Amino acid sequence: MKTFKTIDEIKTERLAYRSNKTIYNLLSTLLGELDRRPNQNIPVTPDDIYKNIKKLYEASIECGNSDEETYLGEFIKKQLSEDEIRSIIKDVQLTDIGSIMKYLNINYAGQFDGRVASTVAREYIANR
């Protein structure tokens, strides 16, 4: 999975894609979105960048732009399956729902469906 940690990394990547107008313009849009954040006094975080990439990715799917979708898809975190969540919960052996959800949020943020994780966690606790 590719990531951008800073705006400078995005700018460097954009320059590398000067000859590909689709990706160049996409990265320009990403920079513009980050520049229009509500609180400009706070530095851009990798999480801010990821959220904007995810928004652009979802828009590219809706619009059917396969070039953008393919490029941005390299940055999107893979969603954990129910079985993967079950395995993680079993491995960490926490005993209450709050601890389990906190662990998942810290270690797998943006990679799981909260409802599925909650259901699996409740089943795990009930069957202990």
The one-letter amino acid at 99: S
Delimit the domains of the chain by residue range: 7-73, 82-126
The one-letter amino acid at 98: G
Helices (H), 64-96: 66-73, 82-92
User: How deeply is 47 buried, as exposed, middle or buried, from its count of CB atoms within 10 A (0-12, 13-18, 19+)?
Assistant: exposed
Q: Is the pLDDT of residue 110 over 90?
A: no
The one-letter amino acid at 28: S
pLDDT band at 58 (very low <50, low <70, confident <90, very high): very high
- pLDDT number for residue 38: 83
Which has the higher per-residue pLDDT, 11 or 40? 11
User: Could you tell me which of 43, 18, 42 has the C-alpha nearest to residue 28?
Assistant: 18
Strand (E) or helix (H) holding 52: helix 46-63
**pTM here?**
0.73
Read off the DSSP letter of residue 112.
S
Could you tell me what percent of the chain has a pLDDT over 90?
A: 87
User: Could you tell me which of 86, 80, 74, 68 has the C-alpha nearest to residue 28?
Assistant: 68
